Each structure stands twice: as C-alpha cells, then as structure tokens.
Amino acid sequence: MLIIEDLVKCYRGSTRANDGISLHVEAGEVVGLLGHNGAGKTTLINQVAGLAMPTSGTIRVSGIDPVAEPAKVRRMVSIMPQAHAPLAGVTPRQATRTLARIRGLDKQAARTRTDELIAALDIEAWADTTGEKLSGGVRRLTAFAMAAAAGPGRVVMLDEPTNDVDPVRRRLLWEQIRELANRGCAVLLVTHNVIEAERSVDRTVVMASGKVVAEGTPAQLRSRAVGEFRLELTAATDGDLPKLPDHITAAGPMMNSTRRLVVPLDSAAASPALAWAQRLRDEGHIDEFALVPVGLEDVYVQLSGDEAALEAEKGAQGEPLVA
Ligand SMILES: Nc1ncnc2c1ncn2[C@@H]1O[C@H](COP(=O)(O)OP(=O)(O)OP(=O)(O)O)[C@@H](O)[C@H]1O
C-alpha cells in the first residue's frame, strides 16, 4: 500500500535528512520506525504526506505519487504529527468528527467512529472540553483519534503517538493502533519507545543518519543481538563499580558508567554471573542487579553504536552539503 524507493531529502544548507530510503508497508501491517533524534523519521513521513518535497526517489501510496498528485494522496493518508494538534476552542469530539467528515464518512458514520474512538481511548470525561483546557496526554490521544477517524484501507502515519500518555491509556492506544491495521490500514509509526514497539509492531525499520540500518520482525532483529542475556549492576552509592571476574566471559562489549555496568552474556555464563552478582549484593558492593533476556532495545543500542561510527566516518570524509 505504501512503497518508498531510494528516497533522498536534502534540506537547504543541511546534510541529507533521508539518504536512499527504501521501505514498504502493506495493508494490515504496523511498521515501527525507530531511530535517534535527527535520524530522518519525521522527514520521511512528511514526504509521504506531501508536506515536504523529495529531492529524489519515489513514493507511491496505493500506486499514487504524492509529488504529482498531492491532493489525491492527502485524501488517502492520515498523519498524527509530532507537534500537538491545534485544538483551541475545539473539543476532542468536534475535532474527531470533523476529520471523519472531511475524510468522507457520512454524518452518522462519523458520529459512530468518533464515539467508538473516544470510548476505546477512555477520554470520555474530556470529550466535550475545549482544547486549551486539556492535558498534554489527552491532546495527544485526541490527535490519534483525529488520525484514526476515517474509513478502512488508508495509510496512517503516527509520529510518536504515545508521548505524554499515561501507561494505562498507552495500552489502549496500542490496541487501537493494532485495530487500525485490522481495519485494513497500513500503519507506519515513529516511536522512541522500543520496548512497547517490540510488543506491538509487525515489523521494525531502524534508521540512522538518514539511512535504513536494519529491518525485520522484532524476533528477527532480536536474533542479531550480542549474547542471550544482559546483566546490569548498579554500584553501591559509596562504592566502586566492580570488575568482571576472570571466570565470567562477556559475550561482547560491556557498557559502563560511573555506577552502572551492563554485560552481555551467553547462556552458559548466565548462572555464574548471577551467583557473582548475588554475592556482590549480599556483601554490599552493589545496590541492585538484574539479569534479563536481550531484547530489541539491546539491538537498537548496538545499532546506535554503529550509527556513531557512521557519523565519525562521515565527519572524517567531509559530508557534501546539498542544497
Ligand atoms: N525544515 C528543515 N530544514 C532544515 N533541516 C531540517 C528541517 N527539518 C529537519 N531538518 C534536519 O533533518 C534531519 C532529520 O530531522 P527529522 O526531524 O526528520 O529527524 P527525526 O528522526 O524525526 O528526529 P526526532 O526523533 O528528534 O523527531 C535533522 O538533522 C534536522 O535538523
């Protein structure tokens, strides 16, 4: 439903915000777009929505080119922007119904879909309160309802939808994101919440410095992690960070700060590492520890390390500025 090929976006006087991106999102699929600040995620979705002009490459929304036919594509695409929706003087119910009507639902269908979303997101208590009196989280949920208020079979792009939202409503929001896919939409969502994304997306695309550096299901990406477990230690407030003893071998590079040590481990090393950490805690050398299976977040951090290397390489080579 959404096909992007070799997309490049160069802002005037800036580096390449998108540098040869290719990706696709099918109807019924939720794809999570992960990446550090400035990786180029918002730039990508703005081009799909026809809000920014690609420098080169192609975008097709159900076969339609947003550059050649921006008005047509805008009718097929919903976007929940990163910035708060302007809701001054407008209530969540009014804003959601209006968007549903603009996107072609008749009066009754718009009313029904709006009520359905307001109930599903548990924001009925504020449904008739004007925007300036709403909390950040309710405004964010309203922006989601506005993006979701349409018929089936659309491309829906959500830029950091769960920001500001409390943990209980975040779950409701993820359920509704999944529901959009069940209704035949292709959902592309930008998030920094890797742990939530791991549970909720079908596929993940990791961006760094304007490029796609990894893509796959959460399970496929997890399989790229170094080690099978991660041991995390927090040194006692007045103590030094302990050194890994010789009989425990780290599966890859360790990360340490003044008080925190993170060690990737293969399964054979997990049990001795656990015994060591328990002893350190019993003797008061550390405040706490955790031994956890590796997840998407570990892979993401690992890829971010690669990103730093990429940046350093770019700096050394002198990235050309393209207007
Ligand atoms: N309108 C603009 N003019 C010039 N440069 C821009 C513009 N918008 C974004 N950029 C630059 O393009 C790069 C990518 O920005 P973008 O907002 O797409 O990143 P992002 O991955 O969405 O970041 P974040 O996670 O912080 O929202 C950054 O270096 C940013 O400074």
Which residue has a Cα nearest atom 17 of ligand 1?
Answer: 42
Same domain, 195 and 210: yes
Same domain, 215 and 272: no
Q: Report pLDDT digits (tens) over 201-257.
A: 999 999 988 999 989 998 888 888 788 899 999 998 887 888 999 999 999 888 888
Domain ranges, residue 279: 229-294
- Is pLDDT at 322 greater than 60 in this prediction? no
> Is residue 310 situated within a structural domain?
no
> What pTM value is reported for the model?
0.82
Structure tokens at 68: 């050649």
Ligand 1 centroid, distance to 173 Cα (angstroms): 26
Same domain, 121 and 260: no
> Is residue 309 situated within a structural domain?
no
Confidence at 10, pLDDT banded by 50, 70, 90: very high
Query: Based on the structure, what is the number of domains in the chain?
Result: 2
User: Who lines ligand 1 at CB under 6 A?
Assistant: 11, 14, 17, 35, 37-43, 82
Q: What is the ipTM of this complex?
A: 0.96
Which residue has a Cα nearest atom 27 of ligand 1?
Answer: 37
Ligand 1 centroid, distance to 100 Cα (angstroms): 30
Q: Report pLDDT digits (tens) over 94-111.
A: 999 999 999 889 999 999
Residues in CB range of 101: below 8 A, 6 or more apart: 107, 110
Arithmetic mean of pLDDT, 58-73: 92
- Is pLDDT at 7 greater than 90 in this prediction? yes
57 and 6 Cβ atoms separated by less than 8 Å: yes
Same domain, 73 and 218: yes
Please state the atom number of ligand 1 nearest to the C-alpha of residue 207: 21
The CATH number that applies at residue 25 is 3.40.50.300
Same domain, 245 and 119: no
If you average pLDDT over every residue of the chain, what do you get? 88
- Is pLDDT at 317 greater than 70 in this prediction? no
Ligand 1 centroid, distance to 38 Cα (angstroms): 5
Which residue has a Cα nearest atom 3 of ligand 1?
Answer: 11
Ligand 1 centroid, distance to 304 Cα (angstroms): 17
Same domain, 252 and 216: no
Same domain, 19 and 92: yes
Arithmetic mean of pLDDT, 65-74: 89
> Is residue 32 situated within a structural domain?
yes
> Is residue 190 situated within a structural domain?
yes
d(CA 272, CA 74): 57
> Is residue 78 situated within a structural domain?
yes
Q: Report pLDDT digits (tens) over 142-184.
A: 999 999 998 888 999 999 999 889 999 999 999 999 999 999 9
> Is residue 302 situated within a structural domain?
no
Question: Greater confidence, 27 or 153?
Answer: 27
